[in-house]
Amino acid sequence: MIRISCDTTADLSDELYEKYNIARLPIYISLAGKEYRDGVDITADELFDLVDETGEMPTTSAQSMHDFNEHFAAIREKDPGCEIIHFTISLGFSTTYNVAKLAAAETEGVYVVDSRNLSSGIGQTVIAACEMAAAGMKAEDIVKICEEDIIPKVDASFILDTLKYMAKGGRCSSVAALGANLLQLKPCIEVVDGKMRVGKKYRGKLSKVLVSYIHDRLADLDDIRPDRIFVTSACCDPELIRISVEEVKSLGYFKEVLVTSAACAVSSHCGPNTLGVLFIHK
């Protein structure tokens, strides 16, 4: 038996965790002198409420060796003798991968994979691994296919409504954030080679920007796998989510359009009204 596991940064829904029997380990969120477990002690909505109340910005931190050891032991207690494949947020964003590798070295039959991504970009790889495990593939083969054929082809990007959170988190300058807000710019943030970069900059009303962004990202359907696409958002206006999902579904191309919400770890860096489409290239 093979169990698939990941951080809460994979931004999968409760239904998907249950459907694929995925084990999850929360990242830590710190705000106003308190520490929370992502998705356990605090939700993204609650996080933004606290930011508004306190005026402080959240920070994130990786799990400890002890956390990983307990996590792997809990999986084995439920499924004795199983092999475990654990996916982490990109090493370019967090030390989680390094800590997980150290913990895995103390437990036989545990494989740790750097997703080189974030949010449901990780989720895409996690679900693919679940499907391969269900098909009876060996753990070593699943890891190899994920690292060589899936992870390099995951396309993850988001439109940000504000650069305030990126600036506070040190991922862009406050001057850039102010300029973007004054010019009503909505930047597309892309994950490339395990790191974030700024892509196309859109301008105007967010609802129209999202439609243009979706058309741009999905312009070449011949190079996109039709199995599934994620529409993932952080504390987004429901109407913006509806518009975006309808745009994706109107293409009539994807077998599954999965709508998920970003957990605290990703939301804390992107801010509210962030939305992205995440898929895999052929």
Domains of the chain: 2-27+62-152 (3.40.50.10170), 156-280 (3.30.1180.10)
Query: Which candidate, 210, 258, 252, places its Cα nearest to that of 232?
Result: 258
Which own/partner pairs from 75-83 qualify as long-range (CB within 8 Å, at least 24 positions apart)?
75/3, 75/5, 75/23, 76/107, 79/1, 79/3, 81/1, 82/1, 82/2, 82/3, 82/109, 83/1, 83/2, 83/3, 83/109, 83/110, 83/111, 83/139
pLDDT tier, 115 (very low <50, low <70, confident <90, very high otherwise): very high
Higher pLDDT, 44 or 110: 110
pLDDT tier, 197 (very low <50, low <70, confident <90, very high otherwise): confident
Identify the three-state secondary structure at position 114.
strand
Query: Tokens 């506070």 identify what position?
Result: 168
Does the pLDDT of residue 153 top 50, yes or no? Answer: yes
What are the beta bridge partners of residue 38?
A: 42
pLDDT tier, 279 (very low <50, low <70, confident <90, very high otherwise): very high
Predicted local distance difference test score (pLDDT) of residue 57: 84
pTM as predicted: 0.92
Does the pLDDT of residue 169 top 60, yes or no? Answer: no
Q: How many CA atoms lie within 13 A of 122 on its CB side?
A: 32
Lowest mean pLDDT among 36-45, 123-132, 139-148: 36-45
Lowest mean pLDDT among 170-184, 227-241, 255-269: 170-184
Rounded to the nearest integer, the mean pLDDT of the chain is 91
Q: What is the end-to-end Cα distance of the chain in Å, rounded? A: 29
Does the pLDDT of residue 146 top 70, yes or no? Answer: yes
pLDDT tier, 184 (very low <50, low <70, confident <90, very high otherwise): low
